[in-house]
């Protein structure tokens, strides 16, 4: 029997494909099962238009069997089969997809769709086997044919015996190597779990004869457990569950069903906080089930974490983690998407630039947002829990996108409020703003408690304005990207211009009087502050720091803590002195009498202001010495 050569480019492609397209060899099983499922779809489809063909549901199935001794794995189906010519053209030419031809010729009816639209899947068989034998009998044909090939050297076709219509593919599994344990493709347990993993929702039964054990009849009652005897028997088991939960009607499903599915899929070990079920019919149709986990995954904040949703094409899993379906700021979402409309090209593993996929991703993003917003509105406790776990990810989303994600994310943000003593949304803040209030005020610090004691907050609180507490490092950076919310600008309580008129204005005369002393103090601090001036915000405290310009003191703190910090990032600091405080009288007296003492007082006050801000003192020894001397 003469061997035919694969078409020239096919030969190269075959080699490339076997060695590089698929990262996991085990997916060959998914490919062959989905081809089998397609072939059954085609039979079903023919039966819709040809009254001579009866489609009896029970006659259609896929069967897997493994023979360890022979090292063969066989996947057979009762689908449409292939004629000699089809074997030749479908399996002899890589990248010629028979499914695609079929689809072109026949309008899709009755929701039947065909998974394969690109012609490389079958060849994945060569990743695990060095001989592939396909015997096939086409629907309505009397003769069966055998196609066989051991890879790039070509293939042969000859007539053979086969009783039933359909296709049987036998793979001679490769011997084990140091790197690959091919035996696992002959192992019953492993095959079962691969089918579960990749093809659980194929709509036809995938059957396998499975060895089971039962108690021998006479061994049942009398004997002790250890003495009981078992016997093996064979059961024809259906390995897949066939109807995926996401294709079922929402009204049939209970919350427990979603929770169970979450656990079954090992998305997490705890009940999810929320499930989202989306069924979209349109130019691009898809079903999605997504979950907001109750807690961040154990590796969520590590480099190893991989975001993404499982991607199915018509019930066949084509990607374990499709990262293109989720923006980074929703990376905590878990779940899956199934669509029959994905135009798959080259490989099921290379989908990135697919337009349909981008469309689905956009819709999914909007759906997640609207579900989160309704949780925020109707289930505030739950939302708070969500936000405590994942709020930081949303804020990073605003920061990383340089504000581009503002529209989608800003309403999801929450901050602790000085007046509500709870997390509030920006919209809620705005709704409570006083008539004369120009800005959305915020204060930064390590904890809510520390912020509540900041001297800078006094004047804002005195005006009856609410303050948002920023305790996450990212907060102020994210807000800088937002710039404003509903046309209200954000303003740090430490900024030099608060937009609040003080009750008692410093008279021009006083200003002139104090100018010299403040200049002296500034000089004695040797460039550490940009200015020393009378504070308009302090009530009870003698001193505080304010900042001028884009970089705040809090941002300086965060940036200085970065590993690549060179110590050159400094906010423009202003030392504010409360001129109504008795400490100021001491400063004035020293200025007129003992300038050395004023230097010490200035250094102490400056360092106190640093401490209040949570900054470190540059020279603690000097600070301690100055205090000691002043006490003497
Ligand atoms: N079990 C089968 N029964 C009938 N025809 C089959 C079977 N397996 C493969 N074929 C035919 O061989 C063609 C090539 O298969 P192959 O898996 O390489 O590509 P495909 O299924 O079209 O696309 P995909 O890359 O998505 O699998 C198929 O389109 C189909 O016509």
What does pLDDT average to over the chain? 85
475: which 2 tokens?
Answer: 């907060």
Which atom number of ligand 1 is nearest to the Cα of residue 80? 4
Within a domain: 499:
no
Instruction: Assess if residue 271 is contained within a domain.
Output: yes
Note the pLDDT of residue 426. Answer: 97
Tokens read off for 383? 């939302």
Give the pLDDT confidence score for residue 507 in this predicted structure.
60
Q: Running DSSP on this structure, what letter comes out for residue 497?
A: -
Tell me if 501 is assigned to some domain: no
Minimum mean pLDDT among 345-354, 481-490, 589-598: which range? 345-354
pLDDT at 161: 96
* Beta carbon of 168 within 6 Å of any ligand 1 atom: no
Beta strands of 117-196 (E only): which ranges? 129-137, 144-149, 155-160, 166-173
**Residue 91 exposed, middle or buried by CB count within 10 Å (0-12, 13-18, 19+):** buried
How many angstroms separate the alpha carbon of residue 151 from the centre of ligand 1?
17
Question: Residue 58: inside a domain, yes or no?
Answer: yes
Q: Are residue 512 and residue 437 in the same domain, yes or no?
A: no
Sheet containing strand 72-77, strands side by side: 155-160, 144-149, 129-137, 166-173, 72-77, 62-67, 206-215, 230-238
Minimal-distance CA residue to ligand 1 atom 7: 35
Q: Which of 208, 238, 268 is the last residue of a domain?
A: 238
Q: How far apart are CA 555 and CA 562, in angstroms?
A: 11
Predicted pLDDT at 57: 78
Give the pLDDT confidence score for residue 351 in this predicted structure.
60
Confidence class for position 95, pLDDT limits 50, 70, 90:
very low
Residue 76 CB less than 6 A away from ligand 1: no
* CA 37 / ligand 1 centre spacing (Å): 10
Rounded to whole angstroms, the Cα distance separating 544 from 535 reads 8
What tokens appear for 51 in the block?
Answer: 């009254």
State whether 119 and 194 are in the same domain.
Answer: yes
Kindly state if the Cβ of 39 falls inside 6 Å of ligand 1. Answer: yes
Is 270 in the same domain as 147?
no
Tens-digit pLDDT profile for residues 216-231: 876 556 666 777 788 8
572 has pLDDT over 70 = yes
CATH number at residue 514: 1.20.120.790
Q: Write the CA distances from 13 to 7, 134, 255, 366, integer angstroms.
A: 10, 20, 47, 40
Bridge partners for 544 per DSSP: 576
By the 8 A CB rule, do 192 and 44 touch?
no
Q: Does the C-beta of 36 come closer than 6 Å to ligand 1?
A: yes
User: Ligand 1 centroid to 132 CA: how many Å?
Assistant: 14
Say yes or no: 57 and 81 in one domain.
Answer: yes
Whether residues 600 and 541 fall in one domain? yes
The tokens of 469 are what?
A: 């507490």
Which pLDDT score is estimated for 169?
A: 98
Q: Are residues 131 and 175 in the same domain?
A: yes
What would the mean pLDDT of 294-312 be, rounded to a whole number?
Answer: 88
The DSSP annotation for 294-352 comes to: SS--TTTTSTT----EEEEETTEEEEEEEGGGS-GGGTT-EEEEEES-----S-TT--T
Whether 385 has a pLDDT exceeding 60, the answer reads yes
CATH number at 332 reads 3.30.230.80
For the ranges 66-75, 559-568, 615-624, the maximum mean pLDDT occurs at 66-75
User: Taking the alpha carbons of 561, 563, 566, 569 in that order, is the dihedral positive or negative?
Assistant: negative
Dist CA 91 CA 96 (whole Å): 8
Residue 96 has pLDDT above 60, yes or no: no
Phi, then psi, of 233 in degrees rounded to 5: -145, 165
Q: How many angstroms separate the Cα of 112 from the Cα of each of 48, 108, 206?
A: 11, 7, 19
Answer with the one of 445, 465, 492 that is the final residue of a domain.
492
- Given a cut of 80, whether residue 20 has pLDDT beyond it is no
CA-proximal residue: ligand 1, atom 22 (nearest): 97
Q: What is the mean pLDDT of residues 42-51?
A: 81
Specify the DSSP class assigned to residue 21. Answer: I
Chain-centre distance for alpha carbon 624: 50
Distance 438 CA to ligand 1 centre (A): 67
Assess whether pLDDT exceeds 80 at residue 621. yes
Residue 292 has φ and ψ, to the nearest 5°, of -100, 115
**86 neighbors 122 (Cβ within 8 angstroms):** no
CA distance 405 to 155: 54
Nearest CA to ligand 1 atom 30: 98
pLDDT of residue 342: 74
Assess whether 433 and 484 both reside in one domain.
Answer: yes
Q: Using pLDDT thresholds of 50, 70 and 90, give the confidence band for residue 309.
A: very high
CA-nearest residue, atom 28 of ligand 1: 98
The CA distances from residue 625 to 583, 589, 615, 621, 628, in Å, are 19, 21, 19, 6, 5
Q: Are strands 72-77 and 62-67 parallel, antiparallel or unpaired?
A: antiparallel
Sheet with strand 484-485: strands edge to edge: 423-424, 415-417, 467-470, 440-444, 488-492, 484-485
Distance separating alpha carbons of residues 553 and 546, to the nearest angstrom: 8
User: Sorting pLDDT into bands at 50, 70 and 90, what band is 112?
Assistant: very low
Residue appearing with tokens 């079920």: 277
Q: Which residues contact 123 (CB under 8 A, 6 or more apart)?
A: 14, 17, 18, 94
Q: Is residue 387 part of a domain?
A: no
User: Using a 6 Å cutoff on CB, does residue 90 contact ligand 1?
Assistant: yes
- pLDDT at residue 571 above 90? no
Lowest pLDDT segment from 291-305, 503-517, 587-601: 503-517
The arithmetic mean of pLDDT across residues 403-419, rounded, is: 92
Atom of ligand 1 nearest to the CA of 347: 25
Atom of ligand 1 nearest to the CA of 119: 19
Confirm or reject: Cβ of 99 under 6 Å from ligand 1.
yes
C-alpha–C-alpha distance, residues 591 and 23, integer Å = 76
- C-alpha of residue 54 to centroid of ligand 1, in Å: 23
Ligand 1 centre distance from Cα of residue 118 (Å): 9
pLDDT band for position 321 (50/70/90)?
confident
Alpha carbon of 447 to those of 416, 441, 473: distances in Å?
A: 10, 17, 11
The predicted pLDDT at position 630 comes to: 86
149 DSSP β-pair partners: 132, 155
Pick the range with the lowest mean pLDDT from 107-121, 236-250, 536-550: 107-121
Picking from 239-243, 256-260, 566-570, 581-585, which range would have the lowest pLDDT averaged per residue? 566-570
53 three-class SS: coil
Q: Check pLDDT > 50 for residue 414.
A: yes
pLDDT value of position 97: 44
Comparing 17-31, 306-320, 369-383, the range with the smallest average pLDDT is 17-31
The reported pLDDT for the residue numbered 453 is 87
pLDDT the model gives residue 11: 63
What is d(CA 471, CA 450) in angstroms, rounded to the nearest whole number? 10
Residue 371 lies in a domain: yes
The answer, yes or no, to whether any atom of ligand 1 lies below 6 A from the CB of 359, is: no
The rounded Å distance from CA 628 to ligand 1 centre is 87
pLDDT value, residue 313: 81
Task: Say if ligand 1 is within 6 A of residue 98 CB.
Answer: yes
- Clarify whether residues 284 and 229 are in a common domain: no
Residue 623, pLDDT > 50, answer yes
Q: Which of 90, 127, 145, 345 to mutate to test the pocket of ligand 1 (most atoms within 8 A of CB)?
A: 90
* Count: domains in the chain: 4
**Predicted confidence band of residue 110 (pLDDT cuts 50, 70, 90):** very low
Q: What is the reported pLDDT for 257? A: 83
C-alpha 96 – ligand 1 centre gap (Å): 9
b/e map 465-502, b = 16+ CB within 10 Å: bbbbbbbbbbbbbbbbbbeebeeeebbbbbbbebebee
Q: How far is CA 481 from the centre of its chain?
A: 22
Q: In this structure, which residue's CA is closest to atom 10 in ligand 1?
A: 35
pLDDT at 213: 87
Task: Give residue 98 CA to ligand 1 midpoint distance, Å.
Answer: 6
Give the long-range contacts of residues 149-154, CB within 8 A, separation 24 or more: 149/91, 151/14, 151/18, 151/126, 152/6, 152/11, 152/14, 152/15, 153/3, 154/3, 154/4, 154/5, 154/6
pLDDT digits (tens, 9 = 90+) for 121-158: 788 888 899 999 999 999 999 999 999 998 777 889 99
Same domain, 249 and 234: no
pTM of the model: 0.66
Contact between residue 575 and residue 606 where contact means Cβ atoms under 8 Å apart:
yes
Highest mean pLDDT among 18-32, 231-245, 507-521: 231-245
Let me know: does 313 contact 342? Beta carbons within 8 Å: yes
Q: Residue range 317-337: average pLDDT?
A: 90
Under 8 Å between Cβ of 284 and 356: yes
Percent of the chain with pLDDT over 70: 87
pLDDT band at 503 (very low <50, low <70, confident <90, very high): low
Using the structure block, give the residue that is written with the tokens 């309580």: 493
The CATH number that applies at residue 430 is 3.40.50.11260
Is the distance from the beta carbon of residue 118 to the nearest atom of ligand 1 less than 6 Å?
A: yes
Residue 455 scores a pLDDT above 50: yes
What's the 128 CA to ligand 1 centre distance in angstroms? 18
Q: Whose CA is nearest to atom 1 of ligand 1?
A: 36
The reply to whether 482 and 533 lie within a common domain is no
In a domain, 74, yes or no: yes
What is the domain range of residue 257?
Answer: 245-382
pLDDT of residue 616: 83
Residues of the chain with pLDDT > 90: what percent?
42
* Ligand 1 centroid to residue 27 C-alpha, Å: 15
Same-domain status, 226 and 264: no
Q: Residue 78: helix, strand or coil by DSSP? A: coil
Position 242 confidence tier, pLDDT thresholds 50, 70, 90: confident
**Could you tell me if residue 407 is inside a domain?**
no
- Only one residue has tokens 């969520």, namely 300
Task: From 457, 492, 527, give the residue that closes a domain.
Answer: 492
Given a cut of 60, is residue 308 above it in pLDDT?
yes
- ipTM of model: 0.97
- Cα 326 from chain centre: 6
Our mutation pick for probing the ligand 1 site, out of 30, 75, 97, 145, counting the most ligand atoms within 8 A of Cβ, is 97
Task: Specify which residues 233 forms β-bridges with.
Answer: 212
Residues 575 and 452 in one domain: no
| pLDDT surpassing 90 at residue 277 | yes
């Amino acid at each position: 029997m003469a061997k035919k050569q694969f078409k020239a480019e096919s030969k190269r492609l075959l080699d490339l494909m076997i060695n590089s397209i698929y990262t996991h060899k085990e997916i060959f099983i998914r490919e062959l099962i989905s081809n089998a499922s397609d072939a059954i779809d085609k039979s079903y489809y023919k039966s819709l238009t040809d009254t001579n063909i009866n489609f009896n549901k029970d006659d259609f199935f896929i069967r897997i069997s493994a023979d360890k001794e022979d090292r063969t794995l066989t996947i057979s189906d009762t689908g449409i089969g292939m004629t000699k010519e089809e074997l030749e053209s479908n399996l002899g030419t890589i990248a010629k997809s028979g499914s695609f031809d079929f689809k072109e010729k026949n309008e899709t009816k009755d929701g039947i769709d065909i998974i394969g639209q690109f012609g490389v899947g079958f060849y994945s068989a060569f990743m695990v086997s060095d001989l592939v034998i396909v015997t096939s009998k086409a629907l309505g044909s009397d003769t069966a044919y055998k196609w066989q090939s051991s890879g790039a050297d070509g293939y042969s076709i000859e007539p053979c015996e086969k009783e039933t219509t359909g296709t049987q593919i036998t793979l001679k599994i490769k011997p084990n190597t140091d790197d690959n344990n091919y035996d696992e493709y002959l192992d019953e347990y492993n095959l079962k779990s691969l089918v579960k993993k990749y093809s659980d929702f194929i709509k036809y039964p995938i059957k396998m004869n499975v060895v089971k054990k039962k108690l021998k009849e006479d061994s049942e009652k009398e004997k002790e457990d250890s003495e009981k005897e078992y016997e093996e028997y064979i059961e024809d088991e259906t390995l897949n569950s066939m109807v995926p939960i996401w294709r079922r009607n929402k009204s049939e499903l209970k919350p427990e069903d979603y929770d169970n599915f979450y656990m079954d899929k090992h998305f997490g070990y705890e009940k999810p906080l929320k499930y989202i079920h989306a069924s979209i019919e349109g130019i691009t149709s898809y079903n999605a089930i997504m979950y907001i986990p109750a807690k961040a995954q154990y590796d969520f904040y590590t480099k190893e974490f991989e975001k993404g949703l499982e991607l199915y094409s018509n019930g066949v899993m084509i990607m374990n983690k499709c990262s293109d379906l989720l923006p980074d700021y929703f990376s905590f979402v878990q779940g899956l998407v199934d669509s029959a409309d994905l135009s798959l090209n080259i490989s099921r593993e290379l989908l990135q630039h697919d337009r349909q996929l981008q469309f689905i991703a956009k819709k999914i993003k909007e759906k997640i947002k609207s579900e989160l917003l309704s949780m925020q509105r109707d289930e505030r406790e739950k939302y708070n829990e969500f936000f405590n776990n994942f709020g930081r990810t949303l804020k990073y989303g605003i920061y990383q996108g340089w504000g581009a994600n503002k529209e989608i994310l800003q309403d999801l943000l929450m901050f602790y409020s000085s007046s509500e003593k709870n997390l509030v949304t920006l919209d809620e803040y705005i709704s409570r703003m006083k008539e004369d209030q120009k800005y959305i005020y915020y204060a930064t610090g390590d904890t809510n408690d520390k912020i509540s004691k900041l001297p800078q907050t006094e004047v804002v609180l005195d005006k009856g304005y609410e303050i948002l507490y920023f305790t996450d490092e990212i907060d102020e950076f994210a807000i800088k990207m937002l710039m404003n919310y509903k046309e209200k600008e954000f303003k740090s309580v430490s900024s030099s211009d608060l937009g609040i008129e003080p009750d008692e204005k410093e008279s021009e005369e006083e200003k002139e009087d104090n100018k010299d002393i403040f200049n002296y103090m500034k000089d004695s601090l040797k460039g550490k502050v940009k200015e020393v001036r009378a504070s308009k915000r302090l009530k009870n405290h003698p001193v505080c720091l304010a900042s001028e310009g884009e970089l705040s003191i809090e941002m300086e703190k965060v940036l200085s803590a970065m590993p690549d910090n060179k110590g050159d990032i400094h906010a423009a600091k202003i030392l504010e002195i409360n001129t109504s405080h008795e400490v100021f009288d001491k400063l004035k007296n020293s200025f007129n009498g003992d300038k050395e003492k004023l230097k010490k007082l200035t250094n102490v006050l400056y360092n106190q202001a640093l401490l209040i801000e949570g900054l470190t003192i540059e020279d603690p020894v000097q600070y301690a010495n100055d205090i000691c001397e002043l006490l003497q």
